[in-house]
Structure 1
């Protein structure tokens, strides 16, 4: 199983795949339950990040267990989706953004597999945190499908589960943030440590606090996601068709200095 989809808010349904099965995988961080299926002759894993009923808040997602389970299953390529608020007037509700950088404002999450002890300490490079190979495939498929996609964007990750204040949004914008969400860190970092190719497609669901003319609601997020569900499904599935999981990539050697990632 070489490919995984990690579905964010609004992307809970594994039925975009065929021959769906339940999978249970134990990890040092807990048991992970997810679905597996097939598309275009390829085995694909599907994890709804917040659970199938959006029952897990962003600060309590077991990011380490999810990534470890994917690695244990043999996954080499991960396409993740996220719902985000926009700090950038050019990135409007309904737009897709192909994230290429992040700003980390999480407070209480473990962001590494390497905490000393038997695993030791590792300092992974995140100069290019999102896989260029997968990003190129996604960008190419979006163009073919006629889907509007911003080719770059900086994701500001906050702790949540509350929305941000207007003062925070103003600060994030001054620091160069384009969109704000609550889940991409530590997921992207852990995927890099696990030497997996990982890319994120974010859907703008609203303008952030202080930019939006009305108070923010989770219902607004879901409404925008539902209106664009078919586009995100199409983009992911056509990208899976084109992905060549065994293609060599720098992501797959991210911890070469430490002898590689070991389960």
Structure 2
């Protein structure tokens, strides 16, 4: 079986709105259980697959997500193009709350995660080219879809992936800004690299939930505001996907 697209949903996106003819598949992977069953169905007349990165009840924190199982499962069921939807904080001045961005670079600050399918005895060692961490053709498709759907989007930017689940200090964000990061999130890696190892097309839709520490005008990050901003931004995702599939 094949799918026109697979979506990995982040914080605030635990089911895919408008999905019809739903089937749920618990995939047995060599890397343990996935965060949630793979949910497949019809959307905009096309078959897509969906997987909730944090579980359907947000029970899995970012540093405990079984990224290998999730990516392997989507590949196993026939997905070849994958979009990761990620809730992030904004660092750059044009990346404030409720903005949708499609980053083109990554800096990985995570630690202690299984970052490769090579981390298994006897596995083939793959040295992937990761100069461009997101697939150019799929990024272009996402950006073209945002234009057709009338969804404002920021094209490009560097995603800084941190360990979580805590938010970052002002000093950490200041360092990330100096490093060239425009966005900060906790789930962008190793997901993108694992997709590359399996030769999946992969792109990220980043939903900006809040200003990162020390950015914007807010003296303190408010969790209720984060979730309201995410609710608004997440509503754009089905529009983008429908435009991609139309």
TM-score between the two structures when normalised by the length of structure 2: 0.94
Indicate conservation of the 8 Å contact 1:86/1:207, yes or no.
yes
- Structure 1 unmatched ranges of 5 or more: 242-263
Give the 5 Å matches for 1:149-228: 149-212=153-216, 213-228=218-233
Tell me the equivalent position of 1:260: none
Indicate conservation of the 8 Å contact 2:118/2:126, yes or no.
yes
Indicate conservation of the 8 Å contact 2:207/2:234, yes or no.
no
CA distance in 2, matches of 1:67, 1:117: 19
Shift in Å, 1:145: 2.1
Bigger shift: residues 218-227 or 198-207: 218-227
Distance 1:140 1:16, change over 3 A: same
Residue in structure 2 matching 1:25, options 24, 27, 32: 27
CA distance in 1, matches of 2:160, 2:33: 29
Shift in Å, 1:203: 1.1
- Structure 2 unmatched ranges of 5 or more: none
Shift in Å, 1:116: 5.9
Indicate conservation of the 8 Å contact 2:54/2:62, yes or no.
yes
Tell me the equivalent position of 2:99: 95
CA distance in 1, matches of 2:43, 2:215: 40
Tell me the equivalent position of 1:115: 119
Give the 5 Å matches for 1:75-94: 75-94=79-98
1:86-134 deviation per Cα after TM superposition (whole angstroms, max 9, x unaligned): 1101111111110110000001101100136311322111111111111
CA distance in 2, matches of 1:161, 1:17: 30
3-state SS in 1 of match to 2:24:
strand
Give the 5 Å matches for 1:122-161: 122-161=126-165
Runs of 4+ in 1 over 3 A off after TM superposition: none
TM-score between the two structures when normalised by the length of structure 1: 0.88
1:182-240 deviation per Cα after TM superposition (whole angstroms, max 9, x unaligned): 00100000000010000001011111111242322433221101123322221122213
Indicate conservation of the 8 Å contact 1:79/1:236, yes or no.
no
Indicate conservation of the 8 Å contact 1:14/1:20, yes or no.
no
